């Protein structure tokens, strides 16, 4: 990454390149444990389209979408069980990152886990299903790199591109919390940690 081309702090966004490098293997092992209990699935949007990104969750609440809308649930609709507990290594990393971003008391109750395989993308959107927009969102990238797009508070605002690589962490708070953002289609590749995939963890205070 090139810190000189992008400030470390900007309107509530804090960029922490390589912040998860020391725990990446542990995080990946924990993702695989979660996946064994709550498999990745391609959820359907309220408009009836299946998402290209595979999703699962851990924590007290998990983000889902189906034909009736977007929301957080305590149980996995696929299994009827509560979402797997948030591993300690997840929670500690999210809280350490939030502290670096200036958010001392971040207590995430939800972690959405996204899995991108080559071609998968996420179109420009805002994250607005959480109750408290004063809490930041912490995002952790593992595996293959992806081009991340972020704009402003309006969908039509100019967008910036940044490359998110294995172990990069971003903290989104303040005005940046409601910025539009998305991921361009993942390029083909094979990563030593995750294989043909990119994993993104987003820690949220949902309830």
Closer by beta carbon to Fe ion, 82 or else 182: 182
Give the nearer residue to ligand MD3 in terms of CB position, either 98 or 122: 122
Among Fe ion, ligand MD3, none, the one that 197 touches (CB under a kind-dependent 5 to 8 A) is: none
Residue linked to tokens 């409601």: 178
Nearer to Fe ion, 93 or 149 (CB): 149
Work out how close the CB of 80 gets to ligand MD3 at its nearest, in angstroms, rounded to a whole number.
Answer: 24
Q: Which residues bind Fe ion (CB under 5 A)?
A: 127
What residue ranges bind ligand MD3 (CB under 6 A)? 112, 114, 122, 127, 137, 139, 170, 172, 176-177, 179, 181, 183, 200, 202
Tell me the residue number closest to Fe ion, measured at CB. 127
């Amino acid at each position: 990454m090139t810190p000189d081309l992008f400030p470390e702090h900007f309107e509530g966004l804090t960029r922490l390149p390589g912040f998860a490098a020391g725990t990446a293997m542990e995080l990946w092992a924990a993702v695989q444990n979660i996946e064994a209990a709550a498999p990745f699935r391609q959820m359907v949007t309220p408009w009836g389209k299946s998402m290209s990104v595979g999703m699962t969750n851990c924590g007290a609440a998990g983000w889902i979408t189906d034909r009736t809308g977007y929301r957080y649930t305590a149980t996995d609709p696929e299994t009827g069980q509560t979402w797997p507990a948030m591993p300690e290594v997840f929670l500690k990393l999210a809280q350490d990152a939030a502290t670096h971003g200036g958010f001392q008391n971040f207590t995430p109750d939800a972690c959405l886990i996204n899995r991108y395989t080559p071609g998968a993308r996420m179109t420009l959107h805002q994250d607005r299903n959480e109750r408290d927009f004063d809490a930041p969102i912490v995002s952790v990238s593992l595996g293959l790199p992806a081009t991340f797009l972020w704009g402003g508070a309006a969908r039509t605002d100019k967008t910036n591109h940044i490359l998110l690589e294995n172990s990069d962490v971003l903290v989104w708070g303040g005005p940046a919390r409601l910025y539009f953002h998305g991921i361009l289609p993942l390029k083909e590749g094979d990563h030593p940690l995750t294989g043909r995939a990119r994993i993104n963890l987003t820690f949220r205070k949902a309830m």
